[in-house]
Chains A and B, each alone.
Chain A
């Protein structure tokens, strides 16, 4: 049995991009575009024009949250080079320490969270608000948050571990974790937070109101 010679996709790319092909033909074009750079470029060219016929519509917040949940999980659970480092260390018996594993887990999670933060900052509409000091020793802190309220990133210029709570219910949304001379907390939310207070050992020290 001999392999069929590869034939680059032609005008069918246009029908594909316009949605005029059936499922099996779509699958065939997708396979060609996935495996061949020339076919990918031809299909991409058609998609570029056809996609301009779509009338954009604001999606419901529920969809945004659902997508965020779906891709938050694999980001934390998929294989990460740090996990391979942990596995290798245990296999060769160099670092069977109860100290090291939690540290590596922590840094793995931080790296994942940082990537999420960077992606959120660059690829969504966000707002920011300065915390107002409630005590003389309050650090400078800022809340950066999604326009739709689906995420909040709190940053302070002090490495103190501060508890962040939404008001008026007083629910804790997490703690700002030290990062060098600063501290930060990234949280994803199902509802818009209106007011956040930072607590230091149970004492309120800074407050921010989030406008949408």
Chain B
């Protein structure tokens, strides 16, 4: 009596084994775009809201990024790895671009003032603690650089001017910070 459902679920397992979503997304299949949204919607919306601070604008941002990726084929290839990380980066960079345009129009001062509270204001407290600990473990110069980039939405050029170091130093500090975060975040993963 349950054959129809179990048949369907078996088929889904066969069709969507590990990596199948990534391959379907890279092959530009429409169902994969919606499935990717459903799988990673919390990260995508969190990425947009963390920067833009406004639900309507954040929703537009997530939707528009997916729509644009649909219109332009070939942005994602499986060699890039995690589809979730790719989409999250696309959404966050789009949100940052939007926020910087607003800042250049003089509409961002208030946003900047509350950005550093973004982690406190939104999201899961366990996630928040995990991030605060990981960032807190960075060397002071790395922490400062990543805070200016990630929380104050500065470009590497702006950071270089702000702290008075060459752009190459900023890039090197950001890379060092990511390497440290990779270790500390991986160390916190359950076995």
Contact = CB atoms under 8 A, between A and B. Distances in A.
Interface string A118-131: 11111110000000
28 contacts: A12-B171, A15-B175, A19-B92, A19-B153, A21-B155, A45-B81, A47-B88, A50-B89, A51-B85, A53-B181, A55-B124, A56-B42, A57-B42, A57-B122, A59-B45, A60-B55, A63-B41, A63-B45, A64-B38, A66-B59, A71-B66, A75-B31, A115-B29, A119-B38, A123-B21, A123-B39, A124-B38, A155-B4
Interface residues of B, number: 86
For chain B, what secondary structure do more than half of its interface residues adopt (helix, strand, loop), or is it mixed?
Answer: helix
Contacts of B4: 155-157, 179, 181-182, 184
Nearest to B36: A123
A77 B42 CA distance: 29
Nearest to B180: A49
Given A66-B63, A115-B29, A33 B80 contact: yes
Contacts of B86: 44, 47
Interface in A98-122: 112, 115-122
Interface centre among B4, B50, B172 (most CB of A within 10 A): B4
Interface of A: 11-12, 14-23, 26, 30, 33-34, 37, 40-41, 43-60, 62-64, 66-68, 70-72, 74-75, 78, 112, 115-124, 140, 142, 144, 155-157, 179, 181-182, 184
A191 B74 CA distance: 35
A74 B30 CA distance: 7
For chain A, what secondary structure do more than half of its interface residues adopt (helix, strand, loop), or is it mixed?
Answer: helix
Interface in B135-168: 135, 146, 149-150, 153-157, 159
Contacts of A112: 31
Contact of A18 (B15, B43, B150): B150
Interface of B: 1-5, 8-9, 11-13, 15-16, 21, 29-39, 41-47, 49-51, 55, 59, 62-63, 66-67, 70, 74-75, 77, 79-82, 84-86, 88-89, 92-93, 96-97, 100, 118-119, 122-124, 127-128, 131, 135, 146, 149-150, 153-157, 159, 170-172, 174-175, 177-178, 181-182, 185
